[in-house]
Amino acid sequence: MSAATVRLDDEDEALLDMLAAEYGGRISVIHQALRSLAADRRRQDALRSLLAEWEAEAGPIDGEDPVDEDDVAAMADRYGL
């Protein structure tokens, strides 16, 4: 098992302390945060892959398709793309 030193500013210290009781300590918060970030990344990668596969099968969206750019931007923001 390895160890890491993390320098936190006052705001991050306060966040860590706020979450420590709920997650079983400061180290557990950091472990949970790392796992959560990794899970987010895996979901984003899977979604990108799905969209690329879908576009490869159905073709790209062209100018004739009714596309609402605001909807596309909202979806990209929602899914972290």
Residue 21 CA: distances (Å) to CA of 9, 17, 33, 45? 20, 8, 14, 32
Query: What is the pTM assigned to this prediction?
Result: 0.65
pLDDT tens figures, 22-79: 999 999 999 999 999 999 999 999 988 988 888 888 777 665 666 777 888 888 888 8
- For the chain, the domains span 10-78
